[in-house]
Amino acid sequence: MRRTGPLIVGGGPAGAAAAIALAAAGERPLLLERTAETGDALCGGFLSWRSLAALARLGIEADALNRERIGEVRVFAGGRRAVAPLPWPALAVSRRTLDAALLAQVDAVERGVAVRSVEDGALRLADGAALMPAALFLATGKHDLRGLARPAAARGSDPTLGLRVRLPGSPALDRLVGPAIELHLFARGYAGIARQEDGGVNLCMAVHRSRLDAAGSPAALLAMLAAEAPDLGERLSFMTSEPVQAVANVPYGWRARAGTAGLFRLGDQAAVIPSLAGEGMGIALASGIAAAGAHARGGGAAARAWQPHFAARVRRPMAVAGLLRRLAEGAAAPWLVRAATPGLIQIMAAATRIDHDAPTGA
């Protein structure tokens, strides 16, 4: 059995941020990533102003990701639209570009290494090898690891699916979307739309399984939504034959509230904020940086106190985002848009951010 120092499983923003911060504190972490090459993950293309500041502290400048800033948010529901400036500029970037920029800052990365399970503190790899880390930083995103899976009850009775469509850039689509983040609300779901650094438009959707089951297929569901929400349908008309990507059973609202010595849960393994808030990347970065700080001060034992402290830290943005999600997915969505003055939208945008300057806990 191979023994290691701090071991990070997952090379997304949470894992890479932890690795960079651990190295800055004098540690020598090892990061394992199951993919051989950096791909374009389905989730997490929006970076708020606070996330951009956190990335800058990790050595990643905003202009290296996307020179175009997002300056406003638009919300659509029931034929109504609300528009407001964001409190500060944000940007949209593909996960391929973001993850590659972060991993370039990590010294020790082993790629193409799949961790299958955790048993008695030891990680079992796909090739049969076993690793015993001094501390484990679990950053596997929405994918659970056998032995450390989040509870099935967190998914709910009508679980949420994530769907993603890439729309090729065009002058007509640029005129529709432009330098904005769009939210399209509909019954039992919503879609977020933004233009990324390559000029293409990313359309990510959170929808309850019952809607997909009723439609019969992702293509049929998109056709139904295009008819139900004409503004969304106008964007979907730019679809090509590229397949719809999906991730199942997203446990929105889940937080890891208890801590275990030697185990730091990061990103979506720590807290899953409803994606309409656009703060998944913010939580990923904040958790990685904060966990690294806790480990630098107290070693693996610090995880026991750090995990509930981080859960408390994300409680407010998670609660606000959860309330907005319930309103957005129900019959109140058109009323929500009608009541959404620019001032209220700015308040909600600020209230769903995690505070990157808060104390990092034990």
Inter-axis angle of helices 315-328 and 342-351, nearest 10: 130
pLDDT in tens, 288-342: 999 999 999 999 999 999 999 999 999 999 999 999 999 999 998 999 899 889 9
Among the listed residues 52, 57, 61, the one whose alpha carbon sits nearest the alpha carbon of residue 20: 57
End-to-end CA distance of the chain: 30
- B/e letters for 194-212, b = 16+ CB within 10 Å, e = fewer, are bbbbbeebbbbbbbbbebb
Topology annotation, domain 2-66+94-155+251-327: FAD/NAD(P)-binding domain (3.50.50)
DSSP calls for 265-316: E-GGGTB---GGG--HHHHHHHHHHHHHHHHHHHGGGGHHHHHHHHHHHTHH
Among the listed residues 115, 80, 56, 45, the one whose alpha carbon sits nearest the alpha carbon of residue 289: 56
Residue with tokens 């849960």: 265
The pLDDT assigned to 49 comes to 95
The pLDDT assigned to 170 comes to 93
Inter-axis angle of helices 95-103 and 13-24, nearest 10: 20
Question: Running along the chain, 362 residues long, what does each successive block of 10 average in pLDDT?
Answer: 91 97 96 90 86 96 96 94 94 96 95 92 91 96 92 89 93 95 96 94 95 94 95 95 88 96 97 95 97 97 98 97 94 90 91 82 64
Q: Which residues, in sequence order, are CB contacts of 220 under 8 Å at separation 6+?
A: none
Q: Which residues pair with 137 in a beta bridge?
A: 8, 264
Q: Which residues pair with 122 in a beta bridge?
A: 119
Residue with tokens 């659509």: 76
Q: Give the alpha-carbon dihedral of 134, 140, 146, 147, to 10 degrees.
A: 40
